[in-house]
Amino acid sequence: MENKTTIDGIKFIMGLFQQKRNELKDRLENLCVTDVKEDNIFLRTKEAIRNQIILHPVTFQDPVILGHRSEIITDQPNYINPFGGQRRITVVEVQFPFTGSSELFYYRPDSVRYSDPTVYLPDGNTVTVNVLTEQLDKAKVLLSAQQQFGLTKSIINDINSQIVQWGKQIDQEIEQTLGEKRKLLLEFYG
């Protein structure tokens, strides 16, 4: 699976907020009286809706080196090596575990500055970065992985502040609209 794309390959965060609002509207429209009649079931319904709708900021943990492999690559001719040729390199897999909503990796804030447009995508609750190196130097490999992962991490950090603010708003909206829907259904079936 390809775990990266370019900055132009991901959507703006406002699209995700609208998608979540639409999901909330759909959930509310499809509620049955049995989902809200009894207090304990109503609380479970509310919690299930919150779990589906509310996004959680992404928090990264320390990177972990998973493994390495050796490969032979072909260098194109350049000013340092006018004839090109082949050389052996080591590919080191570095994994960045995280907690939070993995769907945030597919979105970006309104404005992003970048020099390298590469954005990494998650596989579950981890993101893997492959580092090409000529020697197994842990500090250099981790530094290189952090640099490669820099734009992705920056985007997520920018989005996190929006997620916290939006989460408070949508939580109040869930509370209010779910209460109104419960009242309507109980009156209709009462």
Domain ranges of the chain: 4-189
Q: How far apart are CA 105 and CA 158, in angstroms?
A: 12
pTM: 0.84
Instruction: Identify which of 44, 33, 46 has the alpha carbon closest to the alpha carbon of residue 174.
Output: 46
pLDDT at residue 2 above 70? Answer: no
Task: Write down the pLDDT at residue 77.
Answer: 83
Task: Write down the pLDDT at residue 61.
Answer: 96
Task: Write down the pLDDT at residue 7.
Answer: 83
Work out the average pLDDT over 22-44.
95
Structure tokens at 175: 């509370």
Work out the average pLDDT over 43-49.
96
C-alpha neighbours within 13 Å on the C-beta side of residue 111:
0
Instruction: Identify which of 48, 15, 55 has the alpha carbon closest to the alpha carbon of residue 30.
Output: 48
Structure tokens at 144: 């290189």
Q: How far apart are CA 169 and CA 179, in angstroms?
A: 16
